[in-house]
Amino acid sequence: MQLIRGLHNLSAARHATTNWGAVATIGGFDGVHRGHQALLALLKQRANEWSLPATVISFEPSPREFFMGKAAPARLQRFREKFAVLAACGVERFVCLRFDEQLRSLSPTAFVEQILRDALGVRWLVVGHDFKFGRGREGSVTDLHVLGSRCGFGVEEFAPHLMDQERVSSTLVRDALAAGDLRRAEQLLGRPYSISGRVVHGQKLGRTLGYPTANIRLKRRVIPLNGIFAVRVTGAGLHSVPAVASLGTRPVVNGVEPLLEAHVFDFDGDLYGQQLQIEFIARLRDELWFPSLAALVEQMHIDAAQARQILL
């Protein structure tokens, strides 16, 4: 999948391509859940019909993060994770535009003319039925049909994707994760919820307690779930191996930064610097404070035994 970041790179890519154009969609695609996947399947079908690349247009930071700051909802994925899932869904071009004051201030007409028509050469656009765009979210799908006709591209509305009579959304996934309902989250996503990242050095406390962990910094303002989990680990030669993991701020050691720590069962290799994917299978309990390391270790024995029972 081709990645184009920023309008300046978009212009450069257009000049370097003789047959420029796109069948596109626009959105945050946080989580790339089943609703997104159904839309992307339609996008891919239309792209094949037009013999043009299936293109996703998205923004960094997200508009909600731009306007809400730290109050914005937790991200389900980091950029790298989203990129990988979009590629697996058959997206051929991922255009990521910086959401800043200049982009925010574009009128609906300017957005369509400058970005969709002039920069991307869109020939067909697939959007949700409630899609809003342009300054102050002034533009509606009705406006998009009018502007698209004027600018030479068609617009197709994608109906809500329902499960159990409920519209699948990133918010539903977040709610399921916050409630510790990982089975529901997996149903909505079409796969277990996972977090990926590179293993970094930590305080080595787990090793001294008999539970060495692979530590992954989350690099997010807010995390969508926390606690102790039964998980499966993939990467660095491992494939879906059972583990127990802690996700949170580690109150026992007065931690502040959220950290993902995974103890892989019956493994004694070196994972530092390796890229791992942690799939969350079941939530065991809340993250707790313990009065002593001995009490912590006693609970870790219980957590590990419970995770083994679930996973093995």
The domain spans of the chain are 2-167, 193-311
Average pLDDT taken over every residue of the chain:
91
Q: What is the pLDDT of residues 82-100, one digit of tens each?
A: 999 999 999 999 999 999 9
What is the pLDDT confidence band of residue 268, given thresholds at 50, 70 and 90?
confident
Q: What value does the mean pLDDT take over residues 236-264?
A: 84
Whether residue 255 has pLDDT greater than 70: no
The predicted structure's pLDDT at residue 20: 84
Looking up tokens 């609970």, which residue turns up?
Answer: 299
What is the pLDDT confidence band of residue 288, given thresholds at 50, 70 and 90?
confident
In this structure, which topology does domain 193-311 adopt according to CATH? Elongation Factor Tu (Ef-tu); domain 3 (2.40.30)
Q: Which residues pair with 248 in a beta bridge?
A: 259
Q: Say whether pTM exceeds 0.95.
A: no
3-state SS assignment for residue 20 = coil
Report d(CA 92, CA 87) in Å as an integer. 7
Question: Could you give the percent of the chain with pLDDT greater than 70?
Answer: 95
Q: What value does the mean pLDDT take over residues 99-115?
A: 95
What is the pLDDT confidence band of residue 252, given thresholds at 50, 70 and 90?
low
Report d(CA 2, CA 220) in Å as an integer. 25
What is the pLDDT confidence band of residue 8, given thresholds at 50, 70 and 90?
confident
The predicted structure's pLDDT at residue 249: 80
Whether residue 256 has pLDDT greater than 80: no
Give 195's contacts (C-beta < 8 A, 6+ positions apart). Answer: 81, 216, 218, 247, 260, 277, 278, 280
Give 2-167's CATH code, choosing from 3.40.50.620, 3.40.50.2300, 3.30.1300.10, 3.30.300.100. Answer: 3.40.50.620
Q: What is the pLDDT of residues 175-224, one digit of tens each?
A: 999 999 999 999 999 999 999 999 998 776 667 777 889 999 887 667 88
The predicted structure's pLDDT at residue 9: 83
Separate counts of helices (H) and strands (E) for the chain: 11, 14
The DSSP H or E segment spanning 137 is none
